[in-house]
Chain A
Amino acid sequence: MIIKKLIIKNFRSYYGEKVFEFQKGLNLILGANGDGKTTFFDALDFVFSIDDVERRSFSYSACVSKKMFSELAPGATGKVMVSVDVLNSDNRPRTIEREMEVRKKEDGTMSIVSSSHLGYLPLINGGRKTVMVKDLLYGEGLFPPIIKKYSLFKGEKALNIFEDKTTLKNLINLFSDIKDLGPYKDFAKFGEDTSSRAVTNAQRKDKQAGEAAAQLLREKELLESYLAQENSRLADLRTTYSDNQARIDAIEADLETIELVHGMQDAIKDLQDEVDILRDKLDENYSTNLLDRLWILNGFQPVLEEFAEKMSDFSEKKQTLINIEKERAIREKAEREAEAKTIAELKAKLTELPWYIPDVKTMQSMLEKERCLVCGTEAPKGSSAYAHIAKHLEEALEHINKTHKQEHKEEIVEELFKLRNVESLHQMSIQLYQYGINLNDISAEIEKEKSRNDGLHLEIQDKNQTIDEKQTEMARVLSQSASGHDIGELAGSWLNIKHWYKTREDASIEIERITSKRIPELKKKIAENTEKYKKAVVDITAKEFLKINTFYKLLGDALERAESRTLEEFMDKLATTANRFLEMLNIDDFTGEIDISRDFRDNSINVHLVGSDGKNIDNPNTSLFTTMHLSVLFAISELTKDNLNSEYPMILDAPTSSFDEGKDKTFYQVMNEKLDKQCIIVTKSYLYKDESDKFAVDEKGIQKLLSVKHIPVYRIQKRTGFDKKDQSTIETIVTPLF
């Protein structure tokens, strides 16, 4: 298929009718960002897609030109259309049109009045015949979706088609006969199994020999069950491998950034932990420390001295009083002793009283009985005898009392101070003064604590500043990531990511062990067993069945080898063709080549650039990498041409966006010179910013390009004077150049 003409009408920013005409070879559409490059690409996708088949649907209202719709009067209708004229593989003209009619409702909203997607064949009379788009795209093989998948590429990254693991299967189905071998393989397997059973049944007839064969058969079945287990395990491991590979592929481009951010996150966390520890060390409870650490006693020394002095005074006074009292007591004691002497003498006298002088008790009895017991005469109350006795009794009692009082003088001295508060408080003052808190140290302790806290604050401040710096640096790194991944979150899941690598690696090692060792070993044992079995089979019928069985086995093996060889041949052919394109497009004069190999771990295709030393070139520059992918795509396109007898255009949106300045032009120069297939490229190459900061066409560059061969070049750009906030003012204008 060759695209001859494209009409875009009122499709998004393509207001009114815009026409592009194309030819075989290179076709360029030049536009800067926002000029409508992607819309051009989407318009082609729109007209070549069959929604229900491709299980997608365009948003119709989003396809309508806002400018066109804004100009509609309420109730009026407008038409949106994309039409493409092509030549099919037989060079017959075909047209596909996808259009819709929209109405502006009274409330200003949009309704879809009608839509159609139709194909047309020209008639001799100048008219045209309507056909189903499906019949053209599939039936006639104009542009089947599977071809479109490898023909339309939006952005540079999409060029690496082998990131999609279904690609190999798709390509094999498209271009090789391998898929046709499937029924034959099934048939061979069926024949082998059936004949094997027939051999066994026949063999059973000869019991003796049958037993040996049956034993061998049981061993074979066992070995085959092991093989089946290994194959099943291999399939699981391949799934594990490819699942983890897909995860890794999705983030691999960001891996260095993720690791860097992970390191930063770790460092920040460590610093935050350190800050937490420092904060824990802070003791800024200055108010409660007045009490808890008795800092409140900072001014207490003079008070304590006052207390001590006062207690000392009290103590001294008390002691003085006690001493005075003691002296008095001593003095009194001396007097008492003198007195005691007199009393003793008196007592002595008393004891020396004549026998008729009675003792106190006798005299008290005499007064009671009113009779003198000495002389025996009556002594009634009021008589002189009674008075005489009473006088004697009083004198005796007075002496006795006096003696008693003197004996207790010492106790009175002790009772002068009943309590000992002065002593105990004096002792308290001494103790606080001598053994209490060192009040003179408090001031220094407070200052030390303040300075310790200040030091901690400085340390915390330093660490927080480092945290801020690291966070800023991390934000900068994150902002530079253009992949769309949440790098911060991925970095937080660093352990998971490492686990993906580990699981992939483990699976890879196990796959290698199973494919290179375990399965071949089992196959060898099965083969040996089969040989023994053949010899054990003695029955004639069984021997015949065995020959049939051997035939089917050989057939199966042959088909398998054929499949494998076909696949290898396909990859060889793909690589050879791709390398031819690489050599042609190579603008770096690079001597390496594209290596296309099958990854036994997940049955996918690996595409690498290999240096002359046979080693992979892991980090080719972007332009080379893109050229490599383009070469593979051109190779696929070439294979399509060979296999399906039809060729298809390559339509690429911004494939060279990451090329260094100038390299893209060389690239297009080469393409124009050497490419023999239709390639429509939308690019901002050949545009530069002029003095007024507006994009202008590099006319010299274009002239140089066209000097090789004249090709269609279109300039698309936004009409100036639009309102940035109003989409209905945006319009893409299309200008054919030269």
Chain B
Amino acid sequence: MEVVLGNLYEAWLENTNSQFEEDTFLEPIIKRYCYWHGGTTDKVDIKGKTFNAAYEIYIYAFFLGIYANKRRPLVGNKRNFSMEMKRWGNINLSMFPDRRTYSQIQKYVFSALIAKSDIDLLAIDRGDLSIPDGVSILMRTLSEYANGGFYLMKEKMESVPDYFDGQQSFLTFISKYAQKSKQ
């Protein structure tokens, strides 16, 4: 059953403004665990990285922030991935044969943004709040929860610098918050 989505979701899918604090997270976390600017060149640089594209750890940080209920406004230099939300999870399978696409993730991210933001959908539908303004609210929510997640990771790495180098570390770390979220 195909859902006919309204403009807001489609407009959000086209957005690229998923922001993070560049100075705090680009080198110590994103570049450490992801193939920065991935998906275009050879595979050699990917070796030893936990994730392929940088947005993957961003998704991780977002869900972490959501489960831990950590929303944190961004400060300092901000940067985004220049990649539309609709392209997240579209893995180049010829380049990463061990991976799978996971484009369903967008709906879940979006539903979390609706759930966690104070966006007035009635105002959107009435036309009192423009679609771009609505998308902007959602992207800010996305960035702030991801930021919350990144800070949780940063704190962990301050006490155990190599914590996320373990094979199951990312899973174990988020599972703790996921369990709490369910209780």
Binding site for B on A (CB under 8 A): 284-304, 306-307, 310-311, 314, 317-318, 321, 416-425, 427-429, 431-432, 435-437, 446, 450
Contact = CB atoms under 8 A, between A and B. Distances in A.
A310 B1 contact: no
Contact of B181 (A287, A290, A299): A299
B127 A419 contact: yes
A414 to B, nearest CB: 13
B41 interface: no
A292 B89 CA distance: 8
Given A286-B171, A303-B181, A419 B7 contact: yes
Given A290-B60, A429-B111, A432-B111, A302 B127 contact: no
B121 A425 contact: yes
Contact of A307 (B63, B111, B180): B111
Given A299-B179, A437-B104, A314 B122 contact: yes
Contacts of B50: 287-288
B1 A435 contact: yes
B52 to A, nearest CB: 8
13 contacts: A284-B167, A299-B66, A299-B180, A300-B178, A304-B115, A419-B7, A420-B6, A421-B6, A423-B6, A425-B5, A425-B121, A446-B175, A450-B168
Contacts of B107: 428, 432, 436
A288 B51 contact: yes
B171 A425 contact: no
A298 B108 CA distance: 12
Contact of B8 (A302, A318, A421, A437): A421
Nearest to B99: A292
B125 A417 contact: yes
B171 A446 contact: yes
Interface in B43-74: 50-52, 56, 59-60, 63, 66-67
A329 to B, nearest CB: 17
Contacts of A431: 1, 3
Interface string B1-40: 1011111110000000000000000000000000000000
A236 B57 CA distance: 75
A303 B8 contact: no
Contacts of B114: 307, 310-311, 425
B142 to A, nearest CB: 13
Interface string B150-171: 0000000000000000011111
A296 B59 contact: yes
Contacts of B98: 285, 288
Given A303-B111, A318-B125, A425 B182 contact: no
A435 B182 CA distance: 20
Contacts of A284: 167
Contact of B115 (A289, A293, A307, A437): A307
B56 A291 contact: yes
Contacts of B63: 296-297, 299-300
Contacts of B52: 288
B95 interface: no
A420 B3 CA distance: 12
B156 to A, nearest CB: 15
B3 A427 contact: yes
Contacts of B168: 286, 450
B80 to A, nearest CB: 19
B140 interface: no
B172 to A, nearest CB: 8
A421 B111 contact: no
B122 to A, nearest CB: 6
Contact of A290 (B6, B7, B170): B170
Contacts of A289: 171
A291 B6 contact: no
B111 A428 contact: yes
A307 B109 CA distance: 11
Given A303-B115, A304-B111, A419-B124, A292 B100 contact: yes
Q: Which of A290, A295, A450 has the most CB of B within 10 A?
A: A290
A416 B126 contact: yes
B112 interface: yes
Nearest to B52: A288
Contacts of A425: 5-6, 8-9, 114, 121
A418 B179 CA distance: 41
Nearest to A311: B114
Given A294-B102, A307-B114, A310-B114, A300 B3 contact: no
Given A302-B182, A310-B115, 7 more contacts: A288-B52, A291-B60, A296-B63, A299-B63, A300-B66, A304-B111, A321-B122
Contacts of A296: 59-60, 63, 105, 174
Given A296-B174, A428-B111, A291 B89 contact: yes
Contacts of A435: 1
Contacts of A306: 115-116
Interface string B114-152: 111000011011110000000000000000000000000
Contacts of A300: 63, 66, 108, 112, 178, 181
A319 to B, nearest CB: 11
B139 to A, nearest CB: 16
B177 interface: yes
Contacts of B56: 288, 291
Nearest to B102: A291
B173 to A, nearest CB: 10
Contacts of A421: 6-9, 121, 124-125
Q: Which of A298, A310, A423, A427 has the most CB of B within 10 A?
A: A298
A544 B4 CA distance: 122
Contacts of B9: 421, 424-425, 428
A197 to B, nearest CB: 83
Given A418-B126, A424-B6, A287 B170 contact: yes
Nearest to B134: A421
A321 B170 CA distance: 46
A244 B103 CA distance: 67
Given A310-B114, A318-B122, A421-B7, A299 B1 contact: no
A306 B181 CA distance: 12
Contacts of A424: 3-6, 9
A431 B115 CA distance: 15
Smallest CB-CB A-B distances: 4 pairs: A299-B178, A421-B6, A299-B181, A307-B115
Contacts of A303: 66, 111-112, 115-116, 181
Contacts of A321: 122
Contacts of B5: 424-425, 428
A307 B63 CA distance: 15
B182 A301 contact: yes
Nearest to A291: B102
A279 to B, nearest CB: 13
A485 B125 CA distance: 88
A644 B68 CA distance: 108
